[in-house]
Amino acid sequence: MLTLYRAVAAIGGPAIAAYLALRRARGKEDRVRFGERLGVAGRRRPDGSLVWAHAASVGESLSLLPLIERLVMAWPSLNVLVTTGTVTSAQMIAGRLPKNGFHQFIPVDRVPYVRRFLDHWHPDLALWAESEFWPNLITETQAREIPMVLVNGRVSPRSYGGWRRFPGLIRQLLGGFKLCLAQTEADAGRLRVLGAADVKCVGNLKFSTPPLPAAESQLHRLRDVLKERPRWLAASTHAGEEAMAARVHKKLKSRHAGLLTLIVPRHPDRGPEIAAALRADGLNVARRSPGEAIAASTDIYVADTMGELGLFYRLAGVAFMGKSLVPLGGQNPIEPARLGCAIVHGPHMINFEDVVERLRTANAARRVADENELADAVAALLADHDERDRMAAAAEAFAAAEAGAVDAVVAELTPFIRALREGDRSRARA
């Protein structure tokens, strides 16, 4: 299967190039740094030991930040290369990495690109976040005897079923990891069945991620604008969910005078499209990116900007998790839990099934089946401030109690890092 994968990647070179050109034209690739996607480094390799940490996108890269900070704090001369595959993730972590940390885009998974990447960077240790298993990257790294550790490992039931159809391939890929650190016992069990050898459950690094930031000046300004207006947030929404949020708004508007619905789309570039559709539906809409003001008559505020979700969690009080009323797996509920929100989510939270189950057990989150139940849940929380505050406090307490995962991960990585610092790479591979 690996041979077939490599053959397809090689033969499909022209098709891959065309696909990347289309992505670049649509703004999905960084035009200035596009060479990095082909394995061409954007900077020189720093001297000394280099840890390479790879994360797929925004959520995974943010979850690595506290780990990277702890590693550099403990070993100040350590260099950390962080790779991701999306423009959004690169923008989100820009300026948030410690002194010895820097970002590059991950090369597309074709052997020539991967080898060019590894030839330049020569990483001494590779950390892979969650479930980003690129066959050529993993096998080429393994062939160079670079030790690999899976951190915050996650295998959803859907991914598990998919990989079970290719048992030989996933066993070979997981066999390249010296250690797999899983988020939950369920993830650990799936990793073992799929072929991982040394697996431990140490908790979810997302609990250790600092709260999403917010500019204090903007927070104060918007609080002054909104004052006591009832409001709720539809966070990180995907196509279809904005229309649902709008219909919820219409149902609740007569019961809650001055109601404002805040929508933060997962992809900010959809802002004009979302606003146009909602206006066509008769709603008064303001968009954040062009600086449109929130007026007393504004029904919906579309916050189509990058990096401001933390601002709107702080403003909202009630947060619906996007990607969960459409069958896409849900968004991270830990973020609103840390910022004083009562959490509501749909039935499709497979990406965070363990977290939301525990949040519900702690009476810190409500599950709704559809937009009618969403309207009922939001209405209840807008009407009952005591219940909203109780849920928010329970969510915050739950998140705080789980924040020690980074300590466990650092402890597991310490022998690998010490081996590098002592100049004995053979121990890191033992």
The domain ranges of the chain are: 2-203+404-428, 216-401
Whole-number Å distance between alpha carbons of 81 and 428: 18
CA 211/CA 396 separation, integer angstroms: 11
Tokens standing for residue 266: 């997962």
For residue 195, how many other CB atoms are within 10 A of its CB? 17
165 by Cβ neighbours in 10 Å (0-12 / 13-18 / 19+) ranks as exposed
What's the full length of the chain, in residues?
A: 430
CA distances from 430 to 90, 147, 191 (A): 33, 9, 21
Give Cβ neighbours of residue 105 (< 8 Å, ≥ 6 apart): 30, 33, 36, 37, 83, 84, 85, 90
How far does CA 31 lie from the centroid of its chain? 23
pLDDT at 424: 47
- Cβ of 284: how many Cβ atoms within 10 Å? 13
The residue behind tokens 């060019």 is 116
Write the CB contacts of 100 (distance below 8 Å, at least 6 apart in sequence). Answer: 46, 72, 76, 77, 78, 79, 80
Cα-based distances in Å from 135 to 121, 242, 299? 19, 36, 48
- Which amino acid is residue 244, in one-letter code? M
* pLDDT in the model for residue 427: 37
Residue 211: closest CA among 404, 408, 400: 400
What is residue 423's predicted lDDT score, i.e. its pLDDT?
A: 61
Q: In what order do the strands lie in the sheet with 231-237?
A: 285-287, 300-302, 260-265, 231-237, 318-321, 342-345, 365-367
Q: Which of 308, 328, 333 is nearest to 207 (CA)?
A: 333
What was the pLDDT predicted at 95? 82
pLDDT recorded at residue 158: 86
Q: Which of 29, 36, 60, 241 is catalytic?
A: 60
CATH topology of domain 216-401: Rossmann fold (3.40.50)
Whether 216-401 and 2-203+404-428 are alike in CATH topology: the answer is yes
| Single-letter residue type at 49 | S
Tokens at residue 260, please? 């404002």
- Secondary structure (H, E, C), the chain: CHHHHHHHHHHCHHHHHHHHHHHHHCCCCCCCCHHHHHCCCCCCCCCCCEEEEECCCHHHHHHHHHHHHHHHHHCCCCEEEEEECCHHHHHHHCCCCCCCEEEEECCCCCHHHHHHHHHHHCCCEEEEECCCCCHHHHHHHHHCCCCEEEEEECCCHHHHHHHHCCHHHHHHHHCCCCEEEECCHHHHHHHHHHCCCCEEECCCHHHHCCCCCCCHHHHHHHHHHHCCCCEEEEEEECCCHHHHHHHHHHHHHCCCCCCEEEEEECCHHHHHHHHHHHHHCCCCEEECCCCCCCCCCCCEEECCCCCCHHHHHHHHCEEEECCCCCCCCCCCCHHHHCCCCEEEECCCCHHHHHHHHHHHHCCCEEECCCHHHHHHHHHHHHHCHHHHHHHHHHHHHHHHHCCCHHHHHHHHHHHHHHHHHCCCHHHHCC
Quote the pLDDT of residue 421. Answer: 67
Cβ atoms within 10 Å, residue 224: 8
Confirm whether pTM is higher than 0.75. yes
Of the options 3.40.50.11720, 3.40.190.10, 3.30.300.30, 3.30.460.10, the CATH number for the domain spanning 2-203+404-428: 3.40.50.11720
Which two tokens mark 19?
Answer: 């696909």
Assigned token pair, 396: 């915050």
29 is catalytic: no
How confident is the chain (430 residues) per 10-residue block, as mean pLDDT? 87 91 91 96 96 92 93 94 94 88 96 97 96 94 97 92 94 96 95 96 91 95 97 97 98 96 96 98 98 97 96 97 95 95 96 92 97 98 97 95 92 94 48
